[in-house]
Structure 1
Amino acid sequence: MGMWALQPWDNDAAADWFGDLMDSTSLRARWLEGIRADPSDEPEVVRAAGALFVMLGRVYVWPIGQYDQDLELAIAALAKVAQADSFTENPELVAAIEAEIAELKTRRKSAQAPSGESQRPWWKFWG
């Protein structure tokens, strides 16, 4: 087994398993429905889809052929959610969404973090 880092997805077997999972389910298609929902009408749905990408939107987990475009889609969609009228009334909620956006931005190829990875442990993003 080739292991190149310590995260659960940073090895050949896990990368293959995630690839098979994505190929055999409609997870990405359902994610696209949520992330493309109207953030004015369904900000909760868009944020839920954004949260899924925070959890699973990683190289070796997410379909690599769509990873970069889906990353940008998630960042843009969450930015719109942060501006939704029903959310702007709650500064803590907006701050949480901005933290999610910041986390996703660390995954850009041009990010300053080593390997485009967050410095926060992957299992401790929310809390």
Structure 2
Amino acid sequence: MGDWSAAPWDNDEAADWFARYWNGSGMDWVLRTIHEFRADTEQYDAVRAACVVLACFGSAYAWPYAYLEQRLPTLQAAIAILQNMLLSPSEEWGFLDMWDNNAAVVAAVEEQIRQLQQHVHLQ
């Protein structure tokens, strides 16, 4: 895995995820990344990338209308995944191990959680 910084877009997995997003997969790709996530696949950085998009467009006013019913469940699922990445509910969740418990990464994930929670609370 190529990691350049703690930012959610600054690694190989995220770069690949964003390439697919911008090349036509769009909101369907965001939803699939969140709702089909499994800890044993270790696609943590893809989830973090998807959460960047959710942070930008998670408001009910910016969310694509065709997906409006999926907005709240998606935000809640994304928050739960990010929280589990920091507080592993089982040994399957190896995110912090992969990053050697890097404090900057922890802070970055905590910031993503905060951003998503704002969209949930501003309903």
Question: So what's the TM-score if we normalise by structure 1?
Answer: 0.58
Percent of aligned pairs sharing the same letter: 28
In the alignment, structure 1 residue 64 sits paired with structure 2 residue 71: no
CA gap of 1:46–1:104, structure 2 versus 1, over 3 A, is: same
Correspondence for 1:86 among 92, 98, 108: 98
Kindly indicate which of the two structures has a greater share of residues assigned to helix. Answer: 2
4+ residue runs over 4 A deviation: none
Q: Secondary structure at the match of 1:64?
A: helix
Q: Following TM superposition, by how much is the alpha carbon of 1:26 offset from its aligned partner in structure 2, in angstroms? A: 5.0
Q: Note the 1:103-114 alignment, pairs <5 A.
A: 103-108=115-120, 111=121
Kindly report the root-mean-square deviation, in angstroms, between the aligned alpha carbons of the 2 structures: 2.2
Give the number of aligned pairs.
87
Corresponding residue for residue 26 of structure 2: 27
Corresponding residue for residue 77 of structure 2: 73
Q: Distance in 2 between matches of 1:87 and 1:81?
A: 11
Structure 1 stretch displaced more, 35-44 or 56-65 = 35-44
Gaps of 5+ in 1: 1-24, 118-127
CA gap of 1:77–1:26, structure 2 versus 1, over 3 A, is: same
Q: Deviations over 1:21-73 (max 9, x none)?
A: xxxx7522211222233345121111111111111111122232211111101
Q: Distance in 2 between matches of 1:94 and 1:32?
A: 23
Question: So what's the TM-score if we normalise by structure 2?
Answer: 0.59
Q: Distance in 1 between matches of 2:100 and 2:38?
A: 16
Q: Following TM superposition, by how much is the alpha carbon of 1:96 offset from its aligned partner in structure 2, in angstroms? A: 0.9
- Could you tell me whether the CA contact under 8 Å between 1:82 and 1:88 is conserved in 2? no
- Could you tell me whether the CA contact under 8 Å between 1:54 and 1:100 is conserved in 2? yes
Q: Distance in 2 between matches of 1:61 and 1:88?
A: 36
The structure showing larger relative contact order (alpha-carbon pairs under 8 Å, at least 6 residues apart) is: 2
Amino acid at match of 1:80: N
Amino acid at match of 1:91: A
